[in-house]
Amino acid sequence: MKSISILIAARNEAANILDCLQSVAALSYDKENLQILVGNDASEDDTAAIVRDFIADKPHFQLVEIAPCQALRSQFTTLQGKTNVLAQLAQHATGEFLFFTDADIEVPTHWIQNMSAHFKPNVGVVTGITTMKNSGFFALMQGLEWLYYLSLVRLLSLFDIPITAMGNNMAITRKAYDAVGGYQKIGFSITEDYALFRAILAQGFQFVQLFDSRILTISKPIPTFSALLVQRKRWMYGAMSLPWQQRLGVYINGLLLPILLIISFFDLKIALMLTTFAYIGATAWLAGGISWLQKSALWIVLPIFWFYHVFTNFMMLVYFYTASKTTWKGRDYHT
């Protein structure tokens, strides 16, 4: 049986961490071959206490107190935030496979088996899919948006076109991690999962992007639209690192709303035709994904999702270029 280390970065996650830990503790994998590392990144709430209480009788769990990068030896001094946490956790990891998830995520019971089955020779990274816990209209919209993007990423992966990896649902081989020199060689990135993914591929490893309900992880939704924009600003840095053809797609996606409005000013009929075509295409595509994953709750918001999606993409692009800083877990990064 393969030895597995699960890496979880946690900063101020008192409201979420227990659900995550309970789902990881319920994994149907031999505990003798399982190591679960939780990195407490200077949390200012009860995160560390909650973790300590939960793992007291679970020797395969370990709480790692994360030191500031400045306090460590020189190889870590350029690292910040989550990159610093994962770099330090990787130093403690003993598994031949490293699994990554987040403190606000619940993983499925057979997550490890269904992810690790795809590690064929020379596959360095396997990444899965995520949706949101059903807690209202806004949560459902976020869940549908994640599935929309991830289904497109899956489609492109079938043509061997890499886009990104999901840091809350990702597994890599230790061999691949060591081949890139770890995060201390990659350096700081506000999108650490994307940086690791690209570095592994640059070393000649292959990737697998899954779209399978058996490896579907569930995330806590972002509570407000303003907080959503803060999250997406961080993601946009990864999008802006894509090849120019893919970046062009990002811009078209983000500017679709003003493009349609400008076209309507000159020719309303053409604008309506393009809107109808885009709406039907996106809605039909998502209907297939919902059916495939059997996430029936998402049918409720599907008819209006495209309008939400177009507006959100535009606001995300505006916020990316107008907000002066990027925020993650209460820390500001001037990138």
- Residue 21's alpha-carbon distances to 32, 52, 86, in angstroms, are 18, 11, 17
Please check whether residue 204 lies inside any domain of the structure.
yes
Q: Residues 242, 265: one domain?
A: yes
Q: Residues 55, 120: one domain?
A: yes
Q: Residues 64, 88: one domain?
A: yes
Q: Residues 47, 172: one domain?
A: yes
Q: Residues 185, 266: one domain?
A: no
Please check whether residue 280 lies inside any domain of the structure.
yes
Instruction: Look up the domain containing 311 and give its range.
Output: 230-333
C-beta separation of 177 from 90 below 8 A: yes
Number of domains in the chain: 2
**268-293 and 302-322 are packed helices; what angle lies between their axes, rounded to 10 degrees?**
110
C-alpha to C-alpha distance for 220 and 229, rounded to whole angstroms: 16
Single out the residue in 221, 252, 268 at which a domain terminates.
221
Burial class (CB in 10 A: 0-12, 13-18, 19+), 47: buried
Please check whether residue 259 lies inside any domain of the structure.
yes
Whole-number pLDDT of residue 335: 59
C-beta separation of 40 from 64 below 8 A: yes
Alpha helices by DSSP H, listed for 26-166, are 47-55, 81-92, 111-116, 137-157
C-alpha to C-alpha distance for 95 and 173, rounded to whole angstroms: 9
For residue 65, the domain's CATH number is 3.90.550.10
C-alpha to C-alpha distance for 309 and 283, rounded to whole angstroms: 11
C-alpha to C-alpha distance for 85 and 67, rounded to whole angstroms: 8
Q: Residues 54, 201: one domain?
A: yes
Please check whether residue 141 lies inside any domain of the structure.
no
CB atoms within 10 A of CB 121: 5
pLDDT 10s digit of each residue in the chain, 335 long?
899 999 999 999 999 999 999 999 999 999 999 999 999 999 999 999 999 999 999 999 999 998 775 444 445 556 788 999 999 999 999 999 999 999 999 999 999 999 999 999 999 999 999 999 988 999 999 999 999 999 999 999 999 999 999 899 999 999 999 999 999 999 888 889 999 999 999 999 999 999 999 999 999 999 999 999 998 998 888 888 888 888 999 999 999 999 999 999 999 999 999 999 999 999 999 999 999 999 999 999 999 999 999 999 999 999 999 987 777 777 777 65
C-alpha to C-alpha distance for 273 and 35, rounded to whole angstroms: 55
pLDDT tens string 265-312 = 999 999 999 999 999 999 999 999 999 999 999 999 999 999 999 999
Q: Residues 80, 182: one domain?
A: yes
Q: What is the value of pTM for the model shown?
A: 0.92
Please check whether residue 203 lies inside any domain of the structure.
yes
Q: Residues 190, 236: one domain?
A: no
Q: Residues 234, 271: one domain?
A: yes
Please check whether residue 234 lies inside any domain of the structure.
yes
Collapse the DSSP code of 306 into the 3-class scheme (helix H, G, I; strand E, B; otherwise coil) and give the result.
Answer: helix
Report residue 232: phi and psi, to 5°.
Answer: -70, -25
Which has the closest alpha carbon to 148: 310, 295, 256, 282?
A: 282
Please check whether residue 207 lies inside any domain of the structure.
yes
Q: Residues 207, 66: one domain?
A: yes
C-alpha to C-alpha distance for 329 and 193, rounded to whole angstroms: 16
Q: Residues 245, 116: one domain?
A: no
Q: What DSSP string describes 191-205? A: SHHHHHHHHHHHTT-
Q: Residues 235, 215: one domain?
A: no
Please check whether residue 16 lies inside any domain of the structure.
yes
